Amino acid sequence: MMSHRYHQHFTVSWDQLHRDVRELCHRLVERDFQGIVAITRGGLIPAALIARELNVRLIDTVCIKSYEGQDQGALEVMKGVDHDGDGWLLVDDLVDTGKTARKVREMLPRAHFVTVYAKPEGRPLVDQYLTEVAQDCWIQFPWDMGVTYVEPLADRIKR
């Protein structure tokens, strides 16, 4: 269902995501992290790619859920970590309203928090991000999509 909050789509391909994450890594490579904490599930994919670029092998998770499709529900923390994030890189795919980020920041106040994409409301909560996206734009990630047949334009117009 299309929530009333979103009026546009920004579709990200695997290729685009990979390039964006690598670009973000250029801004992180000078720093020394003892490990990465990925915010599930969306943060797992960029976290794996970042771990490869920065040569990090220690990866932990904060397991959290707030959206069902495009509808935001109550925030549910299913798993935390036993440290305050000091020396750790905290990764999510995006910040939207910032609700998830605010909660995770409380749990890991000393982590360096990065996302690949950031919308204006959530942007102040992260330390670094790559691309800003409008607040009313739904980011369509490649793991939620598939390749399908598209009818020729002429056939679509005839109907």
Ligand X SMILES: O=P(O)(O)OC[C@H]1O[C@H](OP(=O)(O)OP(=O)(O)O)[C@H](O)[C@@H]1O
Nearest alpha-carbon partner for 14 in 136, 155, 148, 147: 147
Give the tokens for residue 112: 């360096």
Catalytic residue (one of 92, 127, 144, 155): 92
* Amino acid letter for position 12: V
98 in contact with Mg ion (CB under 5 A): no
Q: Which residues contact ligand HPA by CB under 6 A?
A: 67, 94, 96, 138-139, 141
Q: Is 127 helix (H, G, I), strand (E, B) or coil?
A: coil
Q: Exactly one of 38, 42, 111, 112 binds Mg ion (CB under 5 A); which one?
A: 42
Total number of residues that touch ligand X (CB under 6 A): 19
State yes or no: 32 annotated in a binding site.
no
> Rounded to the nearest 5 degrees, what angle is found at the Cα of 84, between the Cα atoms of 80 and 89?
85
Do the annotations mark residue 82 as ligand-binding? no
Question: Which residue positions form the known binding site for Mg(2+)?
Answer: 93
The catalytic residue positions are: 92-93, 96
